[in-house]
Amino acid sequence: MQEMSGGHGMTIHERVRIHLEPLGEIFEVDRETPLKDFLFDHGVEFPCGGLGICSGCKVRVLAGSLPVTTEQEEMLTPAELRDGWRLACSCGADEDLTLELAQWEAPVLTDETPFQFTPREGLGVAVDLGTTTIAAQLLDLRTGQVLAVQTALNEQARYGADIMNRVLFAMNEGEASTLASLIRKQIGEMIAGLIFPAKPVRRTDRLRADVVNVVIVGNTAMHHLFCGIDIEPLSHYPFDALNDGLQLFLSRDLDWGIPGDPPVRFLPCIGGFVGSDILAGVMAVRMHESEPLISLVDLGTNGEIVIGNRQKMLCASTAAGPAFEGARIGMGMRAATGAISEVKISGEKFRCHVLGNVQPRGICGSGLVDAAASALDLGLIAESGRLANGGAPISLCPPVVISQADIRELQLAKGAIATGFRILLNRLGATPEDISRLHLAGAFGNYINIYSARRIGLLTLPPSRIHPAGNTALLGAKLALFMPDDEAFSRVARTITHIPLSADLEFQELFAGEMRFPSASPSGF
């Protein structure tokens, strides 16, 4: 890095000016700083962890210059390179730059669901640590009132967007501790923001009590990466966690410095990749207390399914989430500004809703499901998934199209979920008619069009039995704040049986059938 001498013998780093559009943000960084070091904080994703193999971190140079590297030539077309597009992961800020980037700011799903509780003294913090996003809430344990909320993108995502990329990065020497330090620091800063906000709200109420309890939930990979547990067993079959039980810390163990040094609990996982976020969801929908058979389905970065009641509960996870969150889709993106989030038919044409009312930049999971459902109704997609018109991409709203490869990814995702659901039902000796209610958890489940989900065969239950349940993981974490018995969640976890789908003899046969789309729109609308 170039340096300049300052007065009194001091050495200062030379700075360059960065202007980001359409955000309108201007700031300075040290010359030669890698773009990924600061662009992630402004919403640019690095899905492959910055390895230069996915082209998911494209930025366009509007002023200044970025060199064309070998990685750029391999991943970008000549037209894209001529138009100024570059891969942010392989460039550094060597001069003043004006860059165009997609505005990836997206709302993180929080929770305001009322719940029953026994009042306690003090304040509590509940944290939903997701692979992609984090949500944290500060509660008054006397009233159950949410006093403050903090949300953020998980900063680990710069090292890989999905679970397996994150796991593989962590297996490099020393990188597991890098991810642990990163996420501990981020959550600690979020909690500090809850307790000591820049613009306090009802500050006098907060100063009457200390934080006495912090509860964190997350999938098994997040559990291991936060707690410093060896993640290598999660990198290969049979994906059995080394230690997925309840983990206890004090604030000082994590260098958080929370007044009163409260205990921090990371709740136990269930099995495989089914983590404490799903356990918290089970508690939130009270499956463990239900007499009728109910289900919880979370279509996040990973797809998890739980079916059961007070007598018996089974769970499974599927590698379905990436397509539902826009990953591995040609023009896929998360539900953020510029994403097509809804697609309907008007006459014989598509009518698209774009988040932020701007020109479309891509399509998110809910938009993809809508687009496939609409295309099926228009005869543009066959039951097999093959596109009409010789396989030509389907234009939704220029420049956004969906390709044959995109439809195949959707079929893989919906087929995996539908197959997992059928296998769990078969293990319980039940049918879809026996499910009294299906709770759809997470952001995708909250925004998905139920008709579209049924039209493509992702869900089969009547709409009256499908309930968007919001962030059940965060709700369950809040419930845990009021439970003085640390074993309460562990006891429930031990009553849920994890079914490894990859070892099920029925899986491949059922999966082949579930890949197909239904021949007609389902009844009930």
> Taking all residues of the chain, what is their mean pLDDT, rounded to a whole number?
87
Higher pLDDT, 484 or 304: 304
Residue with tokens 């200390």: 210
Question: Of 124-128, 196-200, 315-319, 368-372, where does mean pLDDT reach its minimum?
Answer: 196-200
The residue among 264, 285, 306 that closes a domain is 285
Distance spanning both ends of the chain, measured CA to CA: 63
376-412 pLDDT, tens digit per residue, is 999 999 999 999 989 999 999 999 999 999 999 999 9
Within-domain flag for 492? no
What single letter denotes the amino acid at residue 220? T
492-512 pLDDT, tens digit per residue, is 999 999 999 877 888 888 999
255-281 burial code (b ≥16 CB/10 A, e <16): ebebeeebbbbbbbbbbbbbbbbbbbb
Same domain, 268 and 142: yes
Same domain, 142 and 253: yes
128-180 pLDDT, tens digit per residue, is 999 888 999 999 999 999 999 998 888 888 787 778 888 999 999 889 999 99
Residue with tokens 């929370």: 258
Same domain, 55 and 165: no
Same domain, 199 and 63: no
pLDDT surpasses 50 at 10: no
| Total domains, the chain | 2
Full domain range(s) for residue 212: 123-285
Same domain, 127 and 274: yes
- Give the full edge-to-edge strand order of the sheet including 58-63: 25-30, 15-21, 97-100, 58-63, 85-87
Within-domain flag for 302? no
Strands (E), 276-420: 293-299, 303-308, 313-318, 339-346, 349-354, 362-363, 394-397, 400-402
Same domain, 228 and 263: yes
Q: Across residues 204-215, what is the average pLDDT? A: 71
Please, which pLDDT band fits residue 250 given cuts at 50, 70 and 90? very high
Q: Which range among 32-36, 54-58, 197-201, 310-314 has the greatest average pLDDT? A: 310-314
The residue among 252, 285, 318 that closes a domain is 285
Helices 163-170 + 220-227 axis angle, to 10: 30
Q: Which residues contact 375 (CB under 8 A, 6 or more apart)?
A: 381, 394, 402
- DSSP state letters, 448-516: S-HHHHHHTTS--S-GGGEEEEE-HHHHHHHHHHT---THHHHHHHHTEEE--GGG-TTHHHHHHHHTS
Please, which pLDDT band fits residue 522 given cuts at 50, 70 and 90? low
Within-domain flag for 456? no
* The pLDDT of residue 403: 96
Q: Across residues 514-521, what is the average pLDDT? A: 88
Same domain, 7 and 89: yes
Q: Are strands 362-363 and 339-346 parallel, antiparallel or unpaired?
A: parallel
Same domain, 12 and 144: no
Within-domain flag for 134? yes
CB neighbour class for 155 (10 Å; exposed up to 12, middle 13-18, buried from 19):
middle
Q: Are strands 97-100 and 15-21 parallel, antiparallel or unpaired?
A: parallel
Within-domain flag for 450? no
User: Using CA atoms, how far apart are residues 403 and 393, in angstroms rounded to an integer?
Assistant: 4
Question: Of 21-25, 125-129, 436-440, 521-525, where does mean pLDDT reach its minimum?
Answer: 521-525
CA 187 to chain centre: 16
Q: In 3D, which of 143, 139, 142 has the Cα closest to residue 111?
A: 139
Question: Of 15-24, 69-78, 100-109, 293-302, where does mean pLDDT reach its minimum?
Answer: 100-109
* Assigned token pair, 207: 């100063």
Same domain, 96 and 134: no
CATH for 235: 3.30.420.480
Within-domain flag for 375? no
Q: In 3D, which of 177, 176, 183, 178 has the Cα closest to residue 153?
A: 183
CA 457 to chain centre: 23
* The pLDDT of residue 321: 59
* The pLDDT of residue 301: 66
Higher pLDDT, 93 or 319: 93
94-127 pLDDT, tens digit per residue, is 999 988 875 445 566 788 888 999 999 999 999 9
The residue among 100, 131, 154 that closes a domain is 100
Within-domain flag for 174? yes
Within-domain flag for 364? no
Same domain, 78 and 128: no
CA 234 to chain centre: 18
* The pLDDT of residue 11: 45
Same domain, 167 and 249: yes
pLDDT surpasses 70 at 487: yes
* The pLDDT of residue 219: 93
Same domain, 132 and 258: yes
Query: What is the pTM (predicted TM-score) of this model?
Result: 0.80
